[in-house]
A = this chain, B = another copy of it.
């Protein structure tokens, strides 16, 4: 027992030393050279109450407006920028924070890809974060559910971390992880998100859309809605897979807590637009290979299976969709958030390689 403790101590000390080296290496990085940075609202709608606004009855809504359902965008353009910006759309319960500093204080994809000379646009989708003005009403309740998310997002099966997990096992990082979630100020609506993200591309021109999780669905719809999307990169999409009418696969059964996974259909003419651009989808580790009753591993198994059916359908119609299960590419231990995991530089390298292959990093 004592020897065991000693071994643990030595391992922990070594790990700390390695971590400290990594942090040192990051600290010594060159400054970011930013030619332009800023923020704006984009898209959205407006309602106007009947009647006429009277300045002496100004708390009466008559004749007044409410602007909502826009996205908020923060962007940075590095010196000697590449041609296509990366436009990042977060997942459920997240904001643009998801792409910024990691839970343990390392650089996220925002900084990593700025250093790699891409203009970077970070979105708070409509009804989330700093884009909180929603056209529909919502109730926000403090619901104790974080151990569910720990498990659903595949840090492990709470309270146990997966043994190979690429997430730091200290309480400070976990607290940051929990606090980076932020609630809806109106129900999630893929059509509303798609409208705002499309408006962003209409404003900034051609670019590469990078989505996470629930952002996947609006991601495909945005690529259909505007030809300014030159490629889609999706990390762990789950819902929102669209198939041509008549080609919808059977639902994928799952013991995941959201039940079986269904696709939906769109006209073939719309679907064909997805065959005009390269698409890559990444999934992390600790996803079941076969059906299992371990619900988190099985939830993401159904997502991965549906993604493969979807990519096959794209490719059958002449498109270029690739599904990468990261462990099969030798990248182990990733959670639902590969872009902020401990090995996120390796995950970024994998993306850089793909962008280069597709000629998207000019």
Check if A169 is an interface residue, CB within 8 A of chain B: no
Check if A14 is an interface residue, CB within 8 A of chain B: no
Q: Please pick, from B95, B133, B140, B146, the residue contacting A186 in the complex, using a CB distance under 8 A.
A: B140
Q: Which residues of B have CB within 8 Å of A31?
A: 33-35, 79
Stretch from A173-181, A215-223, A261-269, A342-350 contacting the other chain? A173-181
Report A52-66 residues with CB < 8 Å from chain B CB: 53, 55-56, 58-59, 61, 63-66
Q: Which residues of B have CB within 8 Å of A47?
A: 142, 144
Q: Please pick, from B39, B48, B111, the residue contacting A101 in the complex, using a CB distance under 8 A.
A: B39
A34 to chain B, nearest CB (A): 4
Report A114-145 residues with CB < 8 Å from chain B CB: 124, 128-145
- Interface contact B130-A65, CB-CB below 8 Å: no
- Interface contact A97-B72, CB-CB below 8 Å: yes
CA distance A323 to B57 in the complex (A): 32
Binary contact readout A301-337 vs B (1 if CB under 8 angstroms, 0 otherwise): 0000000000000000000000000000000000000
- Interface contact B183-A146, CB-CB below 8 Å: no
CA distance A95 to B128 in the complex (A): 12
The total of chain A residues at the interface (CB under 8 A) is 78
A215 to chain B, nearest CB (A): 16
- Interface contact A148-B64, CB-CB below 8 Å: yes
Check if A280 is an interface residue, CB within 8 A of chain B: no
A222 to chain B, nearest CB (A): 20
Q: Please pick, from B46, B107, B124, the residue contacting A38 in the complex, using a CB distance under 8 A.
A: B107
Check if A100 is an interface residue, CB within 8 A of chain B: yes
Q: Which residues of B have CB within 8 Å of A145?
A: 59, 61, 64, 66
CA distance A358 to B123 in the complex (A): 39
CA distance A32 to B74 in the complex (A): 15
CA distance A142 to B185 in the complex (A): 10
- Interface contact B139-A137, CB-CB below 8 Å: yes
Check if A182 is an interface residue, CB within 8 A of chain B: yes
- Interface contact B55-A151, CB-CB below 8 Å: yes
Binary contact readout A7-27 vs B (1 if CB under 8 angstroms, 0 otherwise): 000000000000000000000
- Interface contact B55-A158, CB-CB below 8 Å: yes
CA distance A142 to B107 in the complex (A): 36
A33 to chain B, nearest CB (A): 5
Q: With A67-B146, A74-B100, A129-B132 in contact, do A38 and B105 touch (Cβ < 8 Å)?
A: yes
Q: Which residues of B have CB within 8 Å of A159?
A: 53
Check if A257 is an interface residue, CB within 8 A of chain B: yes
- Interface contact A133-B142, CB-CB below 8 Å: yes
Q: Please pick, from B134, B144, B151, the residue contacting A48 in the complex, using a CB distance under 8 A.
A: B144
Residue of B nearest to A132 (CB): B182
CA distance A181 to B133 in the complex (A): 7
Q: Which residues of B have CB within 8 Å of A48?
A: 144
CA distance A185 to B185 in the complex (A): 7
- Interface contact A147-B183, CB-CB below 8 Å: no
Report A159-214 residues with CB < 8 Å from chain B CB: 159, 175-176, 178-183, 185-186
Q: A residues within 8 Å of B by Cβ? A: 31-35, 37-41, 44, 46-49, 53, 55-56, 58-59, 61, 63-68, 70, 72, 74, 79, 95-97, 100-101, 105, 107, 111, 124, 128-148, 151-152, 157-159, 175-176, 178-183, 185-186, 257, 295
Could you jot down 13 A-B contacts, CB within 8 Å? A38-B101, A39-B97, A46-B175, A48-B144, A68-B179, A129-B129, A132-B182, A133-B179, A134-B142, A137-B140, A138-B139, A139-B140, A140-B185
